[in-house]
Structure 1
């Protein structure tokens, strides 16, 4: 766990104030902060492909699925080779559900809350090891600053 924490956590005052970037998803919760290098999946084709057929995912990486508006979404693990944690995120950046260790290849739908705007997929088991749960807050430039609980700096 210590190695994972060092690879992912960036719990410094300077890190909390740095500019938001499209390729970085930052989360905070009571007791922690984590940054993930992310690929963005923001159209139907990219979202359908997701992390399929990949044999690995770097520890501090993930994929951020972004939708045009909040709504119900469901994921499955068809052709996905690695276990994943799925963080379902509302328009204000709040994590509404964490699905841990989705099973590779499983076709069972994994639904999120009805107000899901984004889904962050990270390595399976990592959310629990870091302490990321419901109520954690995402900061990312794709969140509307007027709605975001932790908006990106404006300027």
Structure 2
């Protein structure tokens, strides 16, 4: 099973040599770290109703896809898996787009709170197991317009 996940995860990881100069888009995120770079197509959850529903009731999430939860200001973010049918990795990000914490393989349907800690500006949810397979860990950086001028990895060309 992990062999299959690793192969799928590696198909998500892409070289961004030319894309690194490209403009950011609300519909994708780029991540980088010592492990390399990866890109995900994302749905944006940037208001209370979208954040409340999240990925509930979905039977699958395509490889290379995710949902990005964006908050108006950094704070404590606590998630749960109510009505969520697939295991997810939750990547908690600070106001500069740096990964603060990764919660791996959140259990479908579990009502236990998953606390990202203080200072969370955004949370990326992807298929369970991908963060570890790719190497996404605290200190990795994300590029997306939500981080604005304060971003550690700027959207500017």
- The TM-score with structure 2 as length reference comes to 0.94
Kindly report the root-mean-square deviation, in angstroms, between the aligned alpha carbons of the 2 structures: 1.0
Equivalence map 1:1-155=2 (5 Å): 1-6=6-11, 8-145=12-149, 147-153=150-156
Unmatched tracts of structure 2, length 5 or more: 1-5
Describe the SS at the equivalent of 1:63. strand
Describe the SS at the equivalent of 1:13. coil
Query: Which is richer in helix?
Result: 2
Unmatched tracts of structure 1, length 5 or more: none
Match of 2:3 in 1: none
> Any runs of at least 4 consecutive aligned residues in structure 1 with deviations exceeding 3 A, and if so which?
none
- The TM-score with structure 1 as length reference comes to 0.95
